Homo-oligomer: A and B are copies of this chain.
Amino acid sequence: MSVGREQLMAAAIQHLNEDPTASMAQLAEAAGISRATLHRHFSGREELMVALGHRALERWDAVQRAAGVQSAVASAEPAELRGALGALLSGLIEVADDYGFGLTDHAMAVNPELLRHSDELEEREIALFTAAQRAGLLRADLPARWLSGTVFGLLVAVREGLRRGDIARRDVPRLLLETFLYGAAAGPRATTSPETAAPPGTSGAPPQPPATNTERQEPL
């Protein structure tokens, strides 16, 4: 047994991230094994895809557990919800980066098993958003389900940005969090590190209208 099932799936995912249309032969070669051996692990392409999907969903699940989503929702404490939200988003970045192709791959959106599994995780996430809305951390005038979709879309944007080299890996958590929470509009807001609010960009100081300077609540 040269390569285990785990390393096999890891190699497959890594290769699928570069070419989502890779054939079984290419995936076998990427894993350094023969096509026959690949079929000894997974009876067919379908089974491999489902296995990869579940692997990704289990990591998503692990992120939710590590973030303490369940207990935060149960407690309804703003502090706990705040922490769970931050940990969740941070953790999801890595998952989206590792399993990038799965975010938008058609095979994942068709299989009933995977759909049920991901729906379950999504509902848990929506429950967190709903609780955060009740606690006054997140806006209540946007459906929690849409907020969940927003996170998904932003993770796609993160994946693309990293793939194309548009954004630096170390900036991703800040970009994701800032964009998701406060959006792109200019205006007074309290960030986690105010000194990074104005990077030394080429643009001079924006002729910003002197809006009433106030403190904004800092949910995360």
Task: Verify A179–B142 contact, CB threshold 8 A.
Answer: yes
Count the copies: 2
Report if A184-B180 is in contact (Cβ < 8 Å); known contacts: A211-B216, A215-B211: yes
Q: Chain B residues near A20 (CB, 8 Å)?
A: 106
Verify if A149 is at the interface (C-beta below 8 Å from B): yes
With a cutoff of 8 Å between Cβ atoms, the chain B residues found around residue A191 in the complex are 141
Q: Which of A37-45, A50-58, A128-136 contacts B (4 or more CB under 8 A)?
A: A128-136
User: Could you give, for residues 195-208 of chain A, a 1 whenever the CB lies within 8 Å of some chain B CB and a 0 otherwise?
Assistant: 01111010110111
Segment of A1-9, A59-67, A159-167 engaged in the interface with chain B: A159-167
- Contact digits for A132-172, partner B, Cβ 8 Å, 1 yes 0 no: 01111111111101110110111111101100001100000
Compute how far the CA of A215 lies from the CA of B211 in the bound complex, rounded to whole angstroms: 8
Please state if A203 and B133 are interface contacts (CB–CB under 8 Å): yes
- Closest chain B residue to A155 by CB distance? B153
Q: How many chain A residues have a CB neighbour from B under 8 Å? A: 66
- Residues of the B chain whose Cβ atoms lie less than 8 Å from the Cβ of A106: 19-21
The answer to whether B141 touches A197, judged by C-beta atoms less than 8 angstroms apart, is yes
Q: Is the CB of B134 within 8 A of A207?
A: yes
Closest residue of chain B to A168, judged by CB?
B143
A76 CA to B196 CA in the complex, in Å? 25
Q: How close is A119's CB to chain B, nearest CB, in angstroms?
A: 10
With an 8 A cutoff between CB atoms, is A175 at the interface? Answer: yes
Residues of A near any B CB (own CB < 8 A): 19-21, 104, 106, 130, 133-143, 145-147, 149-150, 152-158, 160-161, 166-167, 175, 178-189, 191, 196-199, 201, 203-204, 206-209, 211-212, 214-217, 219-220
